[in-house]
Amino acid sequence: MFSSFMINTWIASTAIAFVAAFVGFFVVTRRSAFAAHALPLGAFPGAAAANLMGINPLIGMLIFVGMGVFLLRQLVRMGRRDVGTGLVLVLFLGVGALLLSMTSEYAPAVFSLLFGEVLGVSDADLWPILGICVLVVVGIALYFRPLLLDSTFPDLAALQGIRAARMDLVFLTLLALVTATALPVVGAFLVFTLLVGPPAAAQALSGNPMRVLVLSVMFAEGCIWSAIALSYWTNWPIGFFVGTIGAGLFMGARSYRHWNQRQRNFLVV
């Protein structure tokens, strides 16, 4: 499991889970799970197009996810947020379905794009992934305070002169970058669980932002490490393990909180 061809996967997934936890923290506090679900699927046709044209998939995904952010902002401005998000999502998926119908390598390629592949990371892939992760960390460090304020108390943020539209763009850009790096490993559908599951579980356990961040990094790393290990042993798709472990973490955290509150109420009564 730790043989040489797996080393890159371990390094890349550790970096991806780290940044996913940070961006996911904002996904959860901003309640934008739908956008976090839509953007990875926006990146998916990029990978298909890159396959078709024979260029680096990362470039294709970055281009498409960039277009996704642009379209999402335009459509959300024009109408209801959830309807706009949903339509951008299906539009990109439809294009992806078209591009996939054109390629000759059919089922396995589709499957690994949608649900992830453990052995997908080569030496040449590793450096761009790490570079983008560093970029995301720098972006979060720069915008952490205004983004947090805008996500929790939008009115107060507006009073302090923080522009909501700009914060939205910063958030979506960071989300897009994480998405494009995480997609080949975890798969288009399950990037979303990695983003939402661990921070949602962490938030159920604590109200302090710093503690939530630390917890969600721990949960995300635990989630992806165990998913890779289980996927390596069983040969089942990594997406299955990420999805169920993410949901399990959330359920566990919620039950723990519930139980804890009952205990406390009991003492007070």
Partner 1 sequence: MLLENSGFFSSEPVQTALIVGTCAALVSAVIGVFTILRGNAFAGHALADVSSAGGAASFLLGINPLLGFLGMAWIAAFGMEFLGVRKVRERDLATGIVLGAGLGLSALFLYLDVTTTSTTGAAVSVMFGSMFAIPQSLIGPALVASAGVFLLVGLLYRPMMLTAVDPDLAAARGISLRWIGLLQLLALGLAVAVCALAIGAVLATALLIGPAGAAIRLSRRPAQAIFWAMAIGLTAVWGSIWMAYESYYWFSGNAWPVSFFVVTLVFLFYLTAVLVAKVMGLSARQKPVIWPHCEA
What does the binding site for partner 1 look like in residue numbers (CB under 8 A)?
Answer: 28, 31-34, 36-37, 41, 78-80, 82-83, 85-87, 89-91, 93-95, 97-98, 100-102, 106-108, 110-111, 114-116, 187, 189-190, 192-193, 196-197, 200, 236-237, 239-244, 246-247, 250-251
Whole-number Å distance between alpha carbons of 184 and 47: 9
The nearer residue to partner 1, 157 or 196, going by C-beta atoms, is: 196
122: exposed, middle or buried (Cβ count in 10 Å: 0-12, 13-18, 19+): exposed
Residue positions counted in the chain = 269
- Compute the least distance from the CB of residue 155 to partner 1, in Å: 16
**Residue 174 exposure: Cα atoms within 13 Å on the Cβ side:** 27
Q: Are 48 and 103 in contact (CB under 8 A)?
A: yes
Sole residue written with tokens 């669980």: 193
- Residue 103, token pair as written in the block: 């390629």
Closer to partner 1 by Cβ: residue 139 or 195: 195
Q: How far is the CB of 131 from partner 1 (least distance, A)?
A: 28
Question: Least distance from C-beta 75 to partner 1, angstroms?
Answer: 8
Q: How far is the CB of 269 from partner 1 (least distance, A)?
A: 24
The smaller minimum CB distance to partner 1, of residues 78 and 210, is found at 78
Distance CA 92, CA 66 (A): 12
| Separation between Cα atoms, residue 202 and residue 79, nearest integer Å | 33
Taking the complex as a whole, the smallest distance from the CB of residue 208 to partner 1 amounts, in Å, to: 18
Q: By C-beta, is 128 or 154 nearer to partner 1? A: 154
